């Protein structure tokens, strides 16, 4: 069972408050709500019987996101769990708002496409013999294939998203609007992940590795692997960022400033929030762009069908007159 972002937002906030009140992790789990109570009880029991948090998270229920497990594990190791839980709560609140905006943006074009599949074939299946009549068999044969194709495509996209298929990022990088949304989302995840790991006290090398995994982008991962080698040799990441176009100028500037002033984790969390805001703006743009395109296409097709229906009617009247 997957948990919604709303439930995760509330759950992480409850855990953070319980930790700040002085409860241990097992007690925090037992007093929280949102995930299945049986899972929380089983997790708390494992902690009480000596299981480490790392082992607990490795075998955690599927509703606990993989990326969040890295954050919680790192924070528990360094003693900064409450702050990390607050960060996760804020992150899922933002992700939930984005998802809601995306779903609402998709409802309109999906509705228009279904309307088109149902209405457009009418003009081709109307008979003028003995007055206007609809050939039901021809009409059903005309609407069922496009409806089946449409919903098959939607189902396939849903499955690919759930499976986290690499095809989804590929498709998004090819489409205007979605390309920008994907880019800023990757940068937001990376900056947020890196800032959170550093804030939790994780070494720079391991923080870069964890943030690269969370970002989930091959191009970014290639840059992360190269920079990790530089870090291992005693070099500074800020000196290498300019070699990789995937890191924008503002990221390089804030990273360099944070590295020199000791505010790197705060700067990264700040730029991560800024990138997430840009991603949100791109999603707003996409939610306006693609429904408008779909509406214009369907409107043009309907006008064409009306004209063709009228032309057929004139041909029918002419044939009778002759």
Annotate 51-118 with DSSP letters as a single string. --HHHHHHT--TTS-HHHHHHHHHHHHHT-HHHHHHHHHHHHHHHHHHHHHHHHHHHHHHHHHHHHHH
Q: Is residue 135 part of a domain?
A: yes
Q: Is residue 73 part of a domain?
A: no
Whether residue 145 is found in the same domain as residue 51: no
Whether residue 212 is found in the same domain as residue 302: yes
Whether residue 56 is found in the same domain as residue 84: no
Whether residue 87 is found in the same domain as residue 56: no
Whether residue 212 is found in the same domain as residue 267: yes
Q: Is residue 303 part of a domain?
A: yes
Q: Is residue 72 part of a domain?
A: no
Query: At 282, which CATH number?
Result: 1.20.81.30
**pLDDT tens digit sequence for 94-132:** 878 877 777 777 787 888 888 888 877 776 666 655 555
Q: How many domains does the chain have?
A: 2
Chain center to CA of 297:
27
Whether residue 169 is found in the same domain as residue 300: yes
Q: Is residue 71 part of a domain?
A: no
Q: Is residue 75 part of a domain?
A: no
Average pLDDT over residues 5-10: 91
Q: Is residue 69 part of a domain?
A: no
Whether residue 28 is found in the same domain as residue 163: no
**pLDDT at residue 186 in the model:** 92
Whether the predicted pLDDT of 41 surpasses 90: yes
Three-state DSSP state, 133: strand
Whether residue 49 is found in the same domain as residue 135: no
**pLDDT tens digit sequence for 299-312:** 887 787 777 777 76
**pLDDT tens digit sequence for 153-175:** 888 888 887 776 778 788 888 88
Q: CB within 8 A of 256, min separation 6: which ones?
A: 238, 241
Range of the domain at 255: 80-322
Q: Is residue 208 part of a domain?
A: yes
Whether residue 254 is found in the same domain as residue 167: yes
| Cβ contact 35:61 at 8 Å | yes
């Amino acid at each position: 069972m997957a948990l919604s972002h709303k439930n995760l937002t509330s759950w992480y906030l409850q855990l953070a408050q319980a930790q700040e009140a002085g409860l241990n992790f097992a007690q925090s789990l037992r007093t929280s709500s949102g995930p299945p109570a049986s899972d929380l009880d089983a997790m708390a029991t494992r902690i009480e019987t000596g299981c480490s948090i790392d082992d607990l998270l490795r075998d955690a229920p599927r509703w606990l996101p993989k990326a969040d497990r890295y954050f919680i594990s790192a924070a528990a190791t360094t003693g900064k769990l409450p702050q990390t839980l607050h960060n996760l709560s804020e992150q899922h609140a933002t992700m939930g708002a984005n998802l809601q905006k995306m779903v609402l943006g998709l409802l309109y074009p999906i509705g228009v496409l279904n309307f088109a599949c149902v209405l457009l074939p009418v003009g081709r299946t109307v008979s003028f013999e003995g007055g206007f009549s609809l050939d039901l068999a021809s009409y059903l044969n005309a609407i069922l294939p496009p409806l089946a194709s449409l919903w098959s495509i939607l189902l396939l996209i849903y499955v690919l998203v759930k499976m986290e298929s690499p095809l989804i990022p590929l498709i998004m990088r090819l489409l205007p609007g979605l390309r920008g949304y994907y880019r800023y989302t990757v940068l937001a995840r990376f900056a947020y992940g890196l800032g959170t790991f550093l804030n939790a006290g994780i070494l720079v090398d391991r923080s870069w590795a964890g943030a690269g995994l969370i970002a989930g982008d091959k191009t970014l991962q290639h840059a992360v692997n190269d920079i990790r080698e530089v870090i291992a040799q005693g070099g500074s990441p800020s000196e290498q960022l300019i070699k990789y176009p995937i890191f924008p100028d503002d990221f390089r500037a804030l990273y360099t400033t944070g590295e020199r002033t000791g505010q790197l984790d705060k700067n990264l969390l700040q730029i991560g929030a800024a990138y997430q805001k840009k991603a949100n703006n791109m999603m707003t743009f996409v939610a306006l762009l693609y429904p408008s395109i779909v509406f214009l296409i369907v409107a043009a097709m309907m006008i064409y069908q009306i004209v063709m229906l009228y032309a057929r009617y004139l041909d029918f009247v002419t044939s009778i007159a002759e």
